[in-house]
């Protein structure tokens, strides 16, 4: 018996900043599950900055979403029917269903979740892709040594909040960069950063220099833009930059075609890299999924004990996903941005 489900598709490609008009809510007929397939009801959808990149055409590490196709995304879902012996109705799983209310997927693409071990939503944030990104970027790329100074931008977001806390646990002097006084207070009072600089305020570079009296050894780069321009002159010799994301520039398009206005900062940036012998390394978390078991073994107990804390910003209803996504891109979220798709009680959440 097939039934009608909901989804959000890419209605058109954005020019510059995306708007609600780039998305369309529609209904579709869910196919029957065949052998090896599982029918899922989506409970939570993860909203992530990488989805902005998928809305544009052009070369990248993953294919663009087609116009008219569902937006991609990771979800936590409940199995409602199964043609795969490894899954039974009522099981909870992490899946790549996209922005949909229901999906039929192959069993081997799913990861079973136990709500008794960790809250289900943590699989999309602190104990999921963003947490692993923080772990790999800080430890494998950043190579921290106790006593060094770490700066992390988007410090209270899904990735940055874990970087900040892991940085403190590695004995670093940690300085966050975040948007607004409330987020900066959260970075210092809840996440344990030694200082946090509001990038919306004036004199970013001067305030950052004051907070980093011994210079910067590691920069965990989440944003680009003004934060990067403030950080580069403060980098120490042999410093490391883990290039994780460039959210301040995502609306310029994949080839940076919109950068023509204003001064060309590239010569100064390149000179800092040369003169200070910086190691600048971009990384994509999907190349590091082999680190997931080590990450979980180390970080899951810390989350369980409350030694690593996390926040979530949760929108209600699939139809709210575009607005929540657009808000997240502009800093509307504290911690991980999620959408809850059902009003029914969810174990481990209600
Ligand atoms: N390389 C990888 O494999 C990988 C994996 C996951 C994520 N990422 C990247 O990591 C970054 C963080 O991702 P996330 O999921 O943790 O998102 P997030 O930090 O939870 O949310 C995005 C944040 O970006 C900040 N932001 C937006 N525009 C900005 C601007 N112009 N200047 C400064 N900050 C700005 C906002 O924080 P404020 O309010 O503090 O400004 C906003 O809350 C993104 O760039 C993402 O693309 C990369």
Distance from residue 223's CA to the centre of ligand 1 (Å): 6
The model's pLDDT over 254-306, given as tens digits with 9 standing for 90+, comes to: 666 665 557 888 999 999 999 999 999 999 999 999 999 999 999 999 999 99
| CB-CB contact of 168 with 192 (8 Å) | yes
| CB-CB contact of 6 with 318 (8 Å) | yes
Sequence-ordered list of residues with C-beta below 8 angstroms from that of 294, at least 6 positions apart, any chain: none
What the block records as the tokens of 88 is: 């039974």
Nearest Cα residue to atom 21 of ligand 1: 157
The CATH number of the domain covering residues in 129-287: 3.40.50.720
Q: State percent of the chain over pLDDT 90.
A: 91
Question: How far is residue 237's CA from residue 239's CA, in Å, rounded to a whole number?
Answer: 5
Displacement of CA 87 from its chain's centroid (Å): 28
Whose tokens are 């692993």? That residue is: 132
pLDDT, residue 258, reads 60
- Ligand 1 nearest atom to the CA of residue 244, by list position: 1
Which residues line ligand 1 at a C-beta cut-off of 6 Å?
A: 48-50, 130, 133, 154, 156-160, 178-179, 183, 199, 222-223, 225, 227, 244-245, 247-248, 283-285, 328, 331, 333
Question: How far is residue 337's CA from residue 143's CA, in Å, rounded to a whole number?
Answer: 28
Question: 12 pLDDT band (50/70/90 cuts)?
Answer: very high
Whose tokens are 């993953």? That residue is: 62
The model's pLDDT over 201-213, given as tens digits with 9 standing for 90+, comes to: 999 999 999 999 9
**Mean pLDDT score of the chain, rounded to an integer?**
95
Strands, DSSP E only, in 159-270? 173-178, 195-198, 216-221, 235-243
pLDDT of 199 above 90: yes
Nearest Cα residue to atom 43 of ligand 1: 331
Alpha carbons within 13 angstroms on the beta-carbon side of residue 81 total 15
Distance from residue 18's CA to the centre of ligand 1 (Å): 16
Question: How far is residue 32's CA from residue 292's CA, in Å, rounded to a whole number?
Answer: 32
For the chain, the domains span 4-125+311-340, 129-287
Distance from residue 202's CA to the centre of ligand 1 (Å): 21
Whose tokens are 């023509």? That residue is: 260
Sequence-ordered list of residues with C-beta below 8 angstroms from that of 129, at least 6 positions apart, any chain: 46, 48, 74, 285
| CB-CB contact of 113 with 348 (8 Å) | no
Question: How far is residue 282's CA from residue 245's CA, in Å, rounded to a whole number?
Answer: 9
Ramachandran bin of 34, using left for φ above 0, alpha for ψ from -120 to 50, beta for the remaining angles: beta
Distance from residue 160's CA to the centre of ligand 1 (Å): 8
pLDDT, residue 343, reads 82
Q: State whether the Cα torsion 67-247-303-166 is positive or negative.
A: positive
Question: How far is residue 45's CA from residue 43's CA, in Å, rounded to a whole number?
Answer: 7
92-95 and 111-113: which strand pairing?
A: antiparallel
Instruction: Tell me 247's DSSP state.
Output: G
What global pTM score does this model have? 0.97
What the block records as the tokens of 340 is: 């809850």
The model's pLDDT over 66-85, given as tens digits with 9 standing for 90+, comes to: 999 999 999 999 999 999 99
- Ligand 1 nearest atom to the CA of residue 333, by list position: 43
pLDDT, residue 261, reads 59
pLDDT, residue 256, reads 65
pLDDT, residue 68, reads 98
pLDDT, residue 1, reads 56
Question: How far is residue 136's CA from residue 14's CA, in Å, rounded to a whole number?
Answer: 31
Angstrom CA distances, 232 to 62, 206, 280, stand at 29, 13, 11
**Most confident segment among 59-63, 194-198, 342-346:** 194-198
Distance from residue 180's CA to the centre of ligand 1 (Å): 14
pLDDT, residue 252, reads 87
Mean pLDDT, residues 107-126 taken together: 96
| CB-CB contact of 231 with 219 (8 Å) | yes
Pocket test for ligand 1, best of 137, 223, 287, 315 (most atoms within 8 A of CB): 223
The CATH number of the domain covering residues in 4-125+311-340: 3.90.180.10
- Ligand 1 nearest atom to the CA of residue 245, by list position: 45
- Ligand 1 nearest atom to the CA of residue 335, by list position: 20
Nearest Cα residue to atom 45 of ligand 1: 245
Ramachandran bin of 280, using left for φ above 0, alpha for ψ from -120 to 50, beta for the remaining angles: beta
- Ligand 1 nearest atom to the CA of residue 158, by list position: 16
């Amino acid at each position: 018996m097939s039934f009608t489900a909901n989804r959000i598709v890419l209605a058109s490609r954005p020019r510059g900043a995306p708007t609600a008009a780039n998305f369309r809510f529609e209904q579709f007929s869910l196919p029957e599950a065949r052998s090896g397939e599982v029918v899922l009801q989506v409970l939570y959808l993860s909203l992530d900055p990488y989805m902005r990149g998928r809305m544009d055409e052009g070369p990248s590490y993953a294919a663009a979403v087609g116009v008219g196709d569902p937006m991609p995304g990771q979800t936590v879902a409940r199995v409602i029917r199964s043609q795969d012996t490894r899954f039974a109705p009522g099981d909870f799983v992490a899946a790549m269903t996209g922005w949909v209310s229901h999906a039929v997927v192959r069993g081997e693409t799913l990861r079973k979740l136990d709500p008794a071990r960790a809250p289900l939503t943590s699989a999309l944030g602190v104990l999921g892709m963003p947490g692993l990104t923080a772990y790999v970027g800080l430890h494998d790329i950043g190579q921290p040594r106790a006593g060094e100074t770490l700066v992390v931008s988007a410090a209270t977001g899904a990735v940055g909040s874990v970087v900040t806390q892991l940085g403190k646990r590695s004995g670093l002097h940690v300085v966050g960069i975040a948007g607004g006084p409330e987020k900066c207070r959260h970075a210092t009072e809840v996440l344990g950063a030694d200082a946090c600089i509001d990038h919306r305020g004036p004199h970013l570079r001067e305030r950052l220099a004051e907070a980093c009296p011994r210079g910067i050894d590691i920069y965990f780069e989440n944003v680009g833009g003004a934060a990067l321009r403030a950080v580069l002159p403060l980098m120490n010799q042999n410093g490391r930059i883990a290039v994780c994301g460039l959210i301040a520039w995502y609306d310029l398009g994949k080839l940076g075609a919109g950068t023509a206005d204003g001064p060309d900062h590239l010569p100064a940036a390149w000179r800092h890299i040369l003169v200070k012998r910086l190691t600048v390394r971009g990384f994509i978390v999907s190349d590091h999924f082999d680190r997931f078991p080590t990450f979980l073994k180390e970080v899951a107990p810390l989350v369980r004990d409350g030694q690593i804390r996390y926040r979530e910003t949760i929108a209600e209803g699939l139809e709210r996903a575009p607005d929540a996504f657009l808000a997240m891109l502009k800093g509307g979220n504290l911690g991980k941005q999620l959408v809850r798709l059902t009003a029914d009680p969810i174990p481990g959440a209600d």
